[in-house]
Amino acid sequence: MKFKVPRGTQDILPSESWKWQRIEQMIHDVCDLYRYEEIRTPMFEQTELFQRTVGDTTDIVTKEMYTFTDRGDRSMTLRPEGTAPVVRSFVENKMFGWADQPVKLYYIEPMFRYERQQAGRYRQFVQFGTEAIGSADPAIDAEVIALALDVYKRAGLKDIKLVLNSLGDKESRMAHRNALVAHFKPAIDEFCADCQNRLEKNPLRILDCKVDRDHPLMKTAPSLTDYLNEESSAYFEKLKSLLTAAGIAYELDPNLVRGLDYYNHTAFEIMSTAEGFGAITTLCGGGRYNGLAEEIGGPPAPGIGFGMSIERLLLALEAESASLDNSDALDVYVVSLGDAAKDRAFEVLQQLRSAGVKSDMDYMDRKMKAQMKSADRLHAKWVAVIGEDEVEKNVVQLKNMAEGSQQSASVEEMIGFIQNERI
Ligand code: ATP
Ligand code: MG
């Protein structure tokens, strides 16, 4: 029997994993810069958490969740998104009582959605997300957006754009909702079964339908922007002016509604504009979720956040032919000739590593020529050759691969040379 990686998942091999490490490090650095701190929540939660928050008319809840009954007969779900678990933790750990508000958190964690596999769409993918909870200041919306853009910029992406919309507050959404029902109702028979179901339950979802996106009524649908009340408009205007002042360009898209129910006010996406990126151009999606903490039993705690998949970031880098800095070269490869030399090589290797020198040696009993080839393949900057003579004299023959020079050196001298070169 042959086993395969499950559909929609992937092994990340060393040829790719170094890129993940670079991106993850970049994310940690940018988050630190903005004073966001890492949170790690469990990989599964009670199913009801997602049903209540993400919304039971959304694609995620109706079709995409990995739900199972555990041995205690409880319904559990592999986390499909990061916001609900973080807000659950915020409430459970009474973070609303922490001295520094808003609480600014981030995570880099795998998410699970049972989706049709296609380029940029996986069943397990890693999301980097931030959540700023406890403030309803539009400046924090601007901060969160700036942070997301900074990560892309640092990674080297150029062809990206920010798309912005406001979903307004509850009152604005109700007014818009009624207009949507009136708009779609007469022709609802022409829409998919899901949309027919959404009409009464959550007509806004119709605008996010992937099946009926080309129906003529989609284009003429009442726009949320026209239904924003004064307060919601003022909030949106403030955010836009903050972004402009910070030199952040944006496009407005009144049909941007996002795939989760809990959003209000700010909704945004960052998209790739690179040619050949493929059908799915959204790199990052986020928005404001005032009311979510109350929904799961906490005190009022307005929040805003986003989620971006690392997989799509890497795809976008590829589409732009932008490359990450790959400083994977080895400092020293230790070549040994004979058993005694091999034992000595291992000793030397550990001394090098204690001194912070990245080094490796042969473990396959290969001839000198093959060992030299390995050193080449691993881009070793130095090669330390140890034979019988060197064992006796307690030295190595140290070759500088770039210069081609060679000299006899003790381990201490060798470490000195290498450290000097780094300065
Ligand atoms: P889409 O419209 O692409 O289905 P969504 O509305 O379901 O996106 P969110 O739930 O808001 O997206 O997720 C935020 C981000 O997570 C997306 O912008 C994308 O980067 C990433 N993402 C979502 N689903 C997947 C997936 N199946 N595979 C890889 N990344 C994903
Ligand atoms: Mg989706």
User: What DSSP assignment string belongs to 207-275?
Assistant: GG-SSSTT-HHHHTSPPGGGG--HHHHHHHHHHHHHHHHTT---EE-TT---S-TT-EEEEEEEEE--T
Q: Rounded to the nearest whole angstrom, what is the distance from the C-alpha of residue 134 to the centroid of ligand 2? A: 27
Position in ligand 1 atom list of the atom nearest CA 307: 14
Compute the distance between CA of residue 104 and CA of residue 82 in angstroms, rounded to an integer: 14
Q: What are phi and psi of 222, to 5 degrees?
A: -55, 135
What DSSP string describes 14-45? HHHHHHHHHHHHHHHHHHHHTT-EE----SEE
The answer to whether 299 touches 293, Cβ cutoff 8 Å, is yes
Q: Rounded to the nearest whole angstrom, what is the distance from the C-alpha of residue 400 to the centroid of ligand 2? A: 53
Nearest CA to ligand 1 atom 22: 309
CA distances from 193 to 196, 200, 411, 423 (A): 5, 12, 74, 66
Q: Rounded to the nearest whole angstrom, what is the distance from the C-alpha of residue 220 to the centroid of ligand 1? A: 26
Does ligand 1 have an atom closer than 6 angstroms to the CB of 79? no
- Output the pLDDT for position 259: 64
What homologous superfamily is domain 14-169+229-319 in, according to CATH? Bira Bifunctional Protein; Domain 2 (3.30.930.10)
Position in ligand 1 atom list of the atom nearest CA 123: 27
The answer to whether 315 touches 277, Cβ cutoff 8 Å, is yes
- Output the pLDDT for position 423: 66
Q: Rounded to the nearest whole angstrom, what is the distance from the C-alpha of residue 210 to the centroid of ligand 2? A: 10
- Output the pLDDT for position 327: 72
* DSSP H or E segment with residue 333: strand 332-336
Compute the distance between CA of residue 45 and CA of residue 67 in angstroms, rounded to an integer: 10
CATH for the stretch 332-422 = 3.40.50.800
- Output the pLDDT for position 201: 87
And the tokens for 220? Answer: 């003429």
Q: Rounded to the nearest whole angstrom, what is the distance from the C-alpha of residue 113 to the centroid of ligand 1? A: 9
Q: What are phi and psi of 342, to 5 degrees?
A: -65, -45
And the tokens for 147? Answer: 């942070």
Residue type for position 244: T
Sorted by sequence, the CB contacts under 8 Å of residue 206 that are 6+ apart come out as 180, 184, 191, 195, 198, 199, 212, 218, 221
Q: What share of the chain is helix, strand, coil (3-state, %, to 5)?
A: 45, 20, 35
Q: How many CA atoms lie within 13 A of 95 on its CB side?
A: 23
Does ligand 1 have an atom closer than 6 angstroms to the CB of 81? yes
Tell me which of 64, 78, 312 to substitute to probe ligand 1's pocket, judged by most ligand atoms within 8 Å of the beta carbon: 312
Position in ligand 1 atom list of the atom nearest CA 308: 20
Q: Rounded to the nearest whole angstrom, what is the distance from the C-alpha of residue 76 to the centroid of ligand 1? A: 21
Position in ligand 1 atom list of the atom nearest CA 80: 10
User: In a structure prediction context, what are the per-residue pLDDT tens digits for the chain, which is 423 residues long?
Assistant: 899 999 999 999 999 999 999 999 999 999 999 999 999 999 999 999 999 999 888 889 989 999 999 999 999 999 999 999 999 999 999 999 999 999 999 999 999 999 998 889 999 999 999 999 999 999 999 999 999 999 999 999 999 999 999 999 989 988 999 999 999 999 999 999 999 999 988 898 898 888 998 999 998 999 888 999 999 999 999 999 999 999 999 999 988 887 677 889 999 999 999 988 877 889 999 999 999 999 999 999 999 999 999 999 999 999 998 888 777 789 999 999 999 999 999 999 999 999 999 999 999 999 999 999 999 999 999 999 999 999 999 999 999 999 999 999 999 999 999 988 876
Task: Say whether pTM exceeds 0.75.
Answer: yes
Do domains 14-169+229-319 and 332-422 share one topology? The answer is: no
Instruction: Delimit the domains of the chain by residue range.
Output: 14-169+229-319, 332-422
Tell me which of 79, 253, 282, 308 to substitute to probe ligand 1's pocket, judged by most ligand atoms within 8 Å of the beta carbon: 282
Encode pLDDT of 283-328 as tens digits: 999 999 999 999 999 999 999 999 999 999 999 999 998 888 777 7
C-alpha 210, offset from chain centre: 23
